[in-house]
Structure 1
Amino acid sequence: MLKSIFSRPAVIPGPVQAIIVGLGNPGRQYEQTRHNTGFMVLDRLAETLGVKIDRLKFKGLCAEATFGGKKVLLLKPSTFMNLSGQSVIEAMRFYKLPPEQVIIVFDDISLAPGHLRIRRKGSDGGQNGMKNIIYLAGSDAFPRVKMGIGAKPNPEWNLADWVLSTFSAQEAKNLSEAIDHAIQALELMVQGKTDEAMNRFNS
């Protein structure tokens, strides 16, 4: 029998070797907002890999995939940004993975749209989702890809309003290119080549 063109690609057997987490808020009203850039990266990655992030588990939506020669879990927490750690810690405990094997993708207001920054570990940088993950894990040793969303155009703007705003057409174009670079970086990071990813894509 011919394999259905709609069937999902085979995932290599064995345990999940890494988790890639994209941070954001669930719900259509948040879909294209700056704070959901982590979700956007995971959606593009899933599309590239031919999988759908639609399995309900770990207080989020997830999918298993083969990426960079490894079996990975793609995870989008459904807890809302400020409680992202609840989802991440649950998945980490289930697969018995340390922070070093859990890559977090999230938005960063200190970088312009189109720029990204890769780090092996570090502080939350004021990002509430990352803050909750570090707090619940008791560790900041999570490799991360920080996606630029731009600073507030006016210091008097409310930060929550800014991160929940949408991108301009030019910003969206710049972001789309950065998402492609983020996916290439993530593949290197999954393979243990974080230094190479930093050298190639940090901007």
Structure 2
Amino acid sequence: MSLETLIFFSVGNPGPATRHSTGHIMLRYLQDYFDLRELTKKAQYSITKTSNNGIILVKSNSYMNESNKALKQFLDGERIKLNESSVLVILYDDFENNLGKVKISTFKKNESHNGIKSIQNLISSKYNTATVYKLGIGIGPKPHKASKDTMSSWVLSKFNAEEAKVLEDTSFDLLTDYMDEIIERDGEIGDCNKFNAHMTKITSP
């Protein structure tokens, strides 16, 4: 595969930054990293990109469980074709992994994350040949034996100052390491478990 377009699509709720909007926080860091212009808002999504369209950053403006609507509007509105020369990477808050961890994977059978689940439904129905990865930014550890209500309150809470520093100093560095490796491999990640193991090896102190 010859990678022409790498799309980072972040999911999260509108409004103040919380754990649930970690994907948006990471997208903002990427915007600064690439020195790109401000995001341009277009109804259900906001967008910015490099001059050659090689890297596109997209922020969902929909609520988490309607992330699929934002993604579809982006693909239709920008006339983006998810084909063999493009890779779509979903940035999201991963409550199964600890803060300071980053993990890439493909969709699993029963997704528990509402944003990922909605996108999975869209991809499987309309773009089932597309190359799509989910890049989880760890926000855990999640509350021990948390109920559904406890989890809801927790993911909608803000990071404290110490956690925000880990996100900025550690998580973002890992994200860019992953991004650089994806580009180096021309979008051909292969086995995600092996890819994650490789990234752990090359990024460990």
TM-score of the alignment, normalized to the shorter chain, above 0.5: yes
Q: State the shift of 1:172 in Å.
A: 2.1
Partner of residue 121, structure 2? 135
Partner of 1:152: 143
1:17 deviates by: 1.6
| Alpha-carbon distance change, 201 to 57 in structure 1, aligned in 2, over 3 angstroms | farther
Matched-pair contact (CA < 8 Å) for 2:87–2:131: no
Identity level (%): 25
Q: Could you tell me whether the CA contact under 8 Å between 2:45 and 2:74 is conserved in 1?
A: no
Say whether 1:73 aligns with 2:65.
Answer: no
Stretch of structure 1 that moved more, 72-81 or 152-161: 152-161
Q: Deviations over 1:15-44 (max 9, x none)?
A: x723111111222x2x2x100110011100
* Cα distance in 2 for residues equivalent to 1:193 and 1:166: 35
Count how many residue pairs are aligned between Structure 1 and Structure 2. Answer: 183
Provide the residue aligned with 1:86 in structure 2.
69
Q: 1:187: which partner in 2?
A: 180
In the alignment, which residue of structure 2 is the partner of 1:168?
160
Q: State the distance in 1 between where 2:33 and 2:98 align.
A: 25
Of 22, 25, 40, 2:10 maps to 22
Structure 1: where are the runs of 5+ without partners?
1-15
Helix, strand or coil: the match of 2:158? Answer: coil
Deviations 1:37-59 (A, max 9, x none): 10011100000111134212362
Partner of 2:40: 55
For the residue of structure 2 that corresponds to 1:104, the secondary structure is: strand
Inter-partner Cα distance in structure 1 for 2:9 and 2:110 = 15
Q: Which runs of 5+ in 2 are unaligned?
A: none
Contact 2:45 2:73 in 1 (8 A): no
- Normalization by structure 1: what TM-score? 0.78
**Structure 2-normalised TM-score?**
0.77
Shift of 1:141: 5.4
Cα root mean square deviation, aligned? 2.8
| One-letter amino acid matched to 1:101 | V
